[in-house]
Structure 1
Amino acid sequence: MTLTVKDLETLQAQIPDHRLELVDGEIIVMSPSGYESDEVASEFSAQLRNWVRPRKLGRVTGSSAGFTLPNADTRAPDVSFVQAERLRKSPRSFAELAPDLMVEVKSPTDSLAKLREKIDTFLSLGTKVGILINPEQRWVEVRRSTQAPTTLHDGDTLTIPDLLPGWDVQVNDLWSPEFD
């Protein structure tokens, strides 16, 4: 039986404490992320949002914001950005488009291959830039459908000039701090 977005919305209302995605007509229950990976996702989101919002460039959301994609899947990246001209007003339900930027942060239980597959699916459906962040190994991979992936490490600066001209973040600023 192939499920629909309406089925997803109904089930999500019944179990609101679980994150769900609809992939190829099947509902997938998303497990909670690791603490470190969520902290890294929050930091990335904060850095991006604090730059985007005052400039009114678009919308930045976290892992609970779902997108109904052109292939009818409903997925939720860890962080996403949609340009203002593509989403003038926030929808009450899922956004019916592919975000311009999507970010996945590897949790201890995640497979790098599955995360890359998810990012590449978004790219094939219209997302311009996909970013994979691996806090365990301290690298950031920038993926675009038209180019080979680029990997950044501590000391490098992440920029996305084609989508966010002028925005940058130091890779080492994304990691969880250690307190004395």
Structure 2
Amino acid sequence: MGLTVRELAKLQADYPDYRMELVDGEVSVMSPSGYEADEVSTELSRVLGNWVRPRQLGRVTGSSAGFVLPNSDTRAPDVSFVRAERLRRSPRSFAELAPDLMVEVKSPTDSIAKLRDKIQDFLALGTQVGILINPESRQVEVYRLEQECVALGDGDTLTIPDLLPGWEVAIADLWPLVFE
């Protein structure tokens, strides 16, 4: 028998320096992301949050915000968005729902296949849009349940009209700057 969400919360409180997820009752300790991957996820969070907050559309969080999903797993995407009508107040602990949007940014230690599986798990549990960002290949993959993946690269623009009408970001603007 695996751990419960309550047991995970206690374990997380006992070891606050470790990021943990609960998948099928098993604890997974998450290693720190690479610098580039974190810079990309921070940039996406900043751009998204700067657009969402003044419009009071919902909540944007980073990789430390956990979600207790409908199947009782506790997971934390690199970036997430929850519409205001679904989460009127921020919970002190984990949000007990699937985010409307979840984003994973590949770091050097991540497996693309496992990240794609994680996105599919979220979609199956109610997330509307899942995004995989791969800084190594400068590619972005956009997933929706039972739809073909949309692949984007430099020169393309990421939009999510079904969740965030009017919001957009150029793919090339997600990558870290190079200072000369």
TM-score interval for Structure 1 and Structure 2 normalised by the shorter chain = over 0.9
Partner of 1:115: 115
The equivalent of 1:39 in structure 2 is: 39
**Distance (whole Å) between structure 1 residues aligned to residue 23 and residue 154 of structure 2:** 34
Instruction: Give the Cα–Cα distance (whole angstroms) in 1 for the partners of residues 99 and 144 of structure 2.
Output: 13
Indicate the RMSD between aligned Cα atoms, in angstroms.
0.4
Percent of residue pairs identical: 74
Distance in structure 2 (CA, Å) of the matches to 1:2 and 1:137: 37
Structure 2 residue 11 is the aligned partner of structure 1 residue 11: yes
Structure 2: how far apart are the matches of 1:140 and 1:48?
A: 16
Give per-residue Cα distances to partners, 1:81-114, cap 9 Å, x unaligned: 0000000000000000000000000000100000
TM-score, normalising length: structure 1: 0.99
> C-alpha separation between the residues in 2 aligned to 1:10 and 1:147?
38
Q: Which residue of 1 aligns with 2:155?
A: 155
Equivalences for residues 93-112 of structure 1 within 5 A: 93-112=93-112
Instruction: Tell me the distance in 2 between the aligned counterparts of 1:41 and 1:146.
Output: 26
CA–CA distance in structure 2, aligned partners of residues 11 and 3 of structure 1: 10
CA distance in structure 2 between the partners assigned to 1:10 and 1:161 by the alignment: 39
DSSP-derived class of the 1:142 partner: strand
Question: Distance in 1 between the 2:2 and 2:153 partners?
Answer: 42
Indicate the residue corresponding to 1:129 in structure 2. 129
Q: TM-score, normalised by structure 2?
A: 0.99
Matched, 1:145 2:145: yes
Output the amino acid matched with 2:60.
V
Kindly report structure 1 stretches of 4+ aligned residues shifted beyond 3 Å: none
Secondary structure of the residue aligned to 2:148 is: strand
**Cα distance in 1, alignment partners of residues 82 and 124 from structure 2:** 16
Shift of 1:146: 2.7
Amino acid at match of 1:174: L
CA distance in 1, matches of 2:167, 2:129: 14
Structure 2 segments unaligned to the other structure (5+ residues): none
Per-residue CA deviations over 1:135-154 (Å, capped at 9, x if unaligned) read 00001000000310000000
Matched residue pairs, number? 180
Q: Distance in 2 between matches of 1:81 and 1:146?
A: 20
Match of 2:178 in 1: 178
Distance in 1, Cα, partners of 2:31 & 2:44: 20
